Structure 1
């Protein structure tokens, strides 16, 4: 049995090595101009501070914090840049187990996988994060000043942005699974009520511990799940009988 798995393990190692090497090269490049990237990352916080409703500043609370902050910023940017290669390597690992006609979705998988990740990150950066950071900082600001550790801010920022990027992959995953016949629209409809619970749990994990941020993440995820049902219906619709049985179960 181990001998059968050995080629797959070797291929997985190869794909991981290429992905890690790409990430490392991108990291080194991004590290050379991390200050420019950081200006972009801290822009929502600066906007909150200049709104006259919040008082505070970014601070360094340990000797090496600046170095670690630069590394976090560079790694975050490197991950965004490396996404096409990472998706490509993921596909090359999965592809040998697929039929010839199923392998034709390689380019859509890589393109839309990258696009949806970037759309999720952009949605978080331009819509969710500015409101969330301002809302959080305004709470109790009459009592204390929001002097925020630069490292904790970057961690908070990347968790929200990457969380939304991953969440926006749901329609791509639905398309891929429907294309190879693993799911139908009836399958997704049947799991809708469970998906709602899981979505709110994920929103609680990936966002700060406040209800507003969780709702801001949960609502787009629910919309993406509904979009995934529509995609599955177009790509691999359930037979009428199966769909009717699913509706009866609900």
Structure 2
């Protein structure tokens, strides 16, 4: 009986270089179309969407300080929303493009990693929305509450919120990266654990770089989250190593 993975590999190899380029072009166009469509529908509900994102601001007055500022904010919010909403379809296009050229063993590694990446991306958005954004805003309000009245530019507010959410979602990709590197044998669980001190220091530096604010509370929360995700990735790598060793022992 022919191996399914090998037959798919041969099917992929039979495609010419121009065929691969054409398929890649089509996948990219499909992804771009999905983003543009999502942006369009986001613009249709942009005012309720902006009102929703203003919830963490509470009683803070958000002002339009320049002509067209709210228009630019609406475009930014629609752009971010369109990209986020279309992410599942983009991941789907990635899977369709790479799956024909993968063996069965490679699919068992890559496809879960792609799905896990999408899941962690949305978990990062949820975590930043429910935890980081409110914590940062409350810190800013309470820090100067007895001196200044909090009246913020609407553009600066949304720049802060959108950048914090997107950077957190990207930081949440760490376990997927560890899983891929560990499954490929580039790094081991033992090596990861031995470098935990380096990870703690690096997480603090990374949090200071990707966090749009300079308050210690937001950076500390993000740094702790990165360390936690590192140990989650270490656990996934450990499970992957055990599964691989059991597979090899059973084959012999």
> Where on the TM-score scale, by shorter chain, does this alignment land: which range?
0.7 to 0.9
> Which one of the candidate residues 212, 235, 244 is aligned to 2:240?
235
TM superposition shift of 1:227: 1.1
TM-score under structure 1 length normalisation: 0.80
Give the distance between the partners of 1:195 and 1:12, measured in 2 at CA.
36
Give the distance between the partners of 2:17 and 2:62, measured in 1 at CA.
50
The aligned runs of 1:85-234 (5 Å cut-off) are 85-92=89-96, 95=99, 98-105=102-109, 107-207=111-211, 208-234=213-239
Give the distance between the partners of 1:238 and 1:41, measured in 2 at CA.
43
Give the distance between the partners of 1:170 and 1:45, measured in 2 at CA.
30
Of residues 184-193 and 110-119 in structure 1, the stretch that sits farther from structure 2 once superposed is 184-193
Give the distance between the partners of 1:171 and 1:147, measured in 2 at CA.
39
Deviations 1:134-153 (A, max 9, x none): 11122223222221111111
CA contact (8 A) 2:136 2:218 kept: yes
Of residues 24-33 and 129-138 in structure 1, the stretch that sits farther from structure 2 once superposed is 129-138
Give the distance between the partners of 1:187 and 1:100, measured in 2 at CA.
28
TM superposition shift of 1:35: 1.0
TM-score under structure 2 length normalisation: 0.79
SS at match of 2:152: strand
Extract unaligned runs of 5+ from structure 2. Answer: 1-15, 245-252
- The structure with the larger Rg is 2
Give the distance between the partners of 2:52 and 2:122, measured in 1 at CA.
15
Give the distance between the partners of 1:85 and 1:187, measured in 2 at CA.
35
C-alpha RMSD over aligned residues: 2.8
